[in-house]
Structure 1
Amino acid sequence: MSSPHAVTYTVSLERLDPSQHGQVKYASAFVDEHIDEVRLEGSLLVIAHRSPGGNERIAAGVEKLIERFSHGDFGFKEHILFEHRGPAPYRGDIIAELIESKAIKVLEPGLFIFREPFSSLLRFLDDTFVQRIANAFGAKQESYPAVIHLSTLDKTNHFTSFPEHLHFLNHLRDDLDVIESFSESVREAGGWKEDAPLDLNKTMPKPRFAMNPSTCYHCYEGLQGETLEGDGIVVTAVAKCHRYESKNHSDFGRLLDFSMREIIFVGKPEFVRENRLKAVEYLKQLAVEWEIDCIIENANDPFFTNDFQVKASFQRNQEMKYEMRLSIPYIGKTIACSSVNFASTAFGSAFDIKMGKRPATTGCVGFGLERWVFAFLAQFGLNEDGWPAAFREQYHAWQTKTR
């Protein structure tokens, strides 16, 4: 049966506050698995699709999302903590240049192989964030697996806040007949085929793991049931994180698989709050030193479920999340490259981490390493002669030291 011809559905988002348009665009990619593209043209949402249900199905799903975002008092509090206008001299399409120079290899949207100089810049930035920020807090290094128990994700409320991100991990059943039958079917088909019939109930058990979507979850899992001493602890780790985001992976910097360095604070409320504010100051210092064009502002997580408004409004009004957003000159937008988060006692309670008799407070600072490289190169290009002097000098010193 041939696929339906691509058609376009267009709807006005004028009923919504412009600050919500991006979230509706993001969520619309999940309306139907036959969507090819979602884009914004001013206040118009345009969806190209091949849905067997036609525009009627797409319209019904989008209307449901518009209703979700338009009801009630959204309370979208705006607060810019810091703004730094850097020169951002480069105006070219950095993705096209990286592909042409073979510095990156695109396997599919959101999934890349990184080569020099991109791969070196990744390591330099990670080392710098450790040396300049994590070490300033006396953070202890930890190393985490790339997979996570579903029971752990359940405690973080990931299933009820970001269900669309989930990348389940599974395996063939511990059954010789199943394993041999699977292998033989692939051999007979001449290799693995994407459309190969695969009876999941027969060949695979119920999954117990998922790919890890956030570095800090493992930290809380590792502290489960413990009572901490003093004011608290600070740890740091870098991990490969995985989030499925449908057609949104075609957006600049939105990766399926990415590296997240985090600095995690667990302890008394004052300890976490004070260190969180110090982290913001360290980010400001780097922005000025490296001449980065950016802002730091309060933000909210892109909650996917029907209680989006309640959760997002609470986060913004309580200023529980700040984002450092770097400008991408050639597309005229910004992307979040770092976040500074305050979770209160949510994770302390969920994982039974205590300070004395009370649940521990937690917070974290995250650095999306690939996004940092993409954004830096988008502002300054691949030619090192155009990089800010301080950044270039530090990068060359790091190269000399690591050779």
Structure 2
Amino acid sequence: MMVSACCHPLYAMLRGQQVDGQAYGVGGPGGFAFRHEPSKDPFRAVTFRQMEHVVFGDEAHASRTRDRCVQTAFDLLTVLGLDPRAEVASDPFFGRAGQLMGSGQQATSAKIELTYDAYGPDCERVALGSGNKHGGHFCHDFGLTLASGEPAHSMCMGFGLERVAVALLQTHGMSVGSWPIDVRELLDLA
């Protein structure tokens, strides 16, 4: 199945279960996502690998966890030398209804992208990853509940693996041996 995010099949796999406080890692080297989004940007491949961390809980837990994951991911990208910026964003929903959904995402800061300056200060930055609050949307649709029986809320933190790799190569060069030692050690490349 061609999914727009690696976490989407997880909800169907957990259908009808109690998921209070549970966390799942999905995607990775075999986790392909597909997006049919018109773009001339080489960072925006139609199919790409994605790594995501999904957490379930009540609204406050999902929100706090998303914020903590965004900060941890920001710190990681900073240590890797990628000079990230955290920006409120929205998914590229299409049509008039999609514009309203995107506006709602931005108004509630439901999506925070960690962006990278791939093309210079006068160009749009490229998202390397994002932290997303889904509210009860997916959980309600798939009957995922808390221990209390109330519908669960979820969040995910995801990275585009090829995007991060290209950003590392663009920032530090094609010869991994010449990268800063702290970056190589963190990535177990020293």
TM normalised by structure 2 equals 0.88
Whether the 8 Å contact between 1:259 and 1:369 is mirrored in structure 2 is yes
Q: 2:62 aligns with which of 272, 276, 280?
A: 272
Name the structure with the higher helix share: 1
Match of 1:241 in 2: 33
Deviation track 1:9-36 (CA, whole Å, cap 9, x = no partner) reads xxxxxxxxxxxxxxxxxxxxxxxxxxxx
Change (3 A) 1:329 1:305: closer
Runs of 4+ in structure 1 displaced over 3 angstroms?
Answer: 329-333
Match of 1:340 in 2: 131
Name the CA distance, whole Å, in 1 between partners of 2:99 and 2:154.
23
SS of equivalent residue, structure 2 residue 15: coil
Deviation track 1:105-151 (CA, whole Å, cap 9, x = no partner) reads xxxxxxxxxxxxxxxxxxxxxxxxxxxxxxxxxxxxxxxxxx2xxxx
Q: Which amino acid aligns with 2:175?
A: N
Q: 1:320 aligns with which of 82, 86, 110?
A: 110
TM normalised by structure 1 equals 0.43
Larger displacement relative to structure 2 (384-393 or 308-317): 384-393
Name the CA distance, whole Å, in 2 between partners of 1:374 and 1:353.
37
Match of 2:50 in 1: 260
Q: Which amino acid aligns with 2:7?
A: C
Match of 1:297 in 2: 87
Name the CA distance, whole Å, in 2 between partners of 1:371 and 1:399.
18
Q: Which amino acid aligns with 2:21?
A: G
Alignment of 1:372-391 (within 5 A): 372-384=164-176, 386-391=178-183
Ranges in structure 1 where 5+ consecutive residues have no aligned partner:
1-146, 148-210
Match of 2:96 in 1: 306
Change (3 A) 1:261 1:342: same
Name the CA distance, whole Å, in 1 between partners of 2:172 and 2:184.
11
Compute the displacement of 1:329 (Å).
3.9
Whether the 8 Å contact between 1:212 and 1:241 is mirrored in structure 2 is yes
Q: 1:369 aligns with which of 161, 168, 180?
A: 161
Q: How many residue pairs are counted as aligned between the two chains?
A: 185
Whether the 8 Å contact between 2:82 and 2:167 is mirrored in structure 1 is no
Larger Rg: 1
Larger displacement relative to structure 2 (293-302 or 339-348): 293-302
Identity %: 27
Name the CA distance, whole Å, in 2 between partners of 1:244 and 1:329.
23
1:349 paired to 2:130: no
Compute the displacement of 1:218 (Å).
1.1
Q: Which amino acid aligns with 1:301?
A: D
Ranges in structure 2 where 5+ consecutive residues have no aligned partner:
none
Compute the displacement of 1:394 (Å).
2.8
Q: Which amino acid aligns with 1:383?
A: S
SS of equivalent residue, structure 1 residue 371: helix
Structure showing greater relative contact order (alpha-carbon pairs closer than 8 Å, 6 or more residues apart): 2
Pairwise CA RMSD: 1.9
1:221 paired to 2:50: no
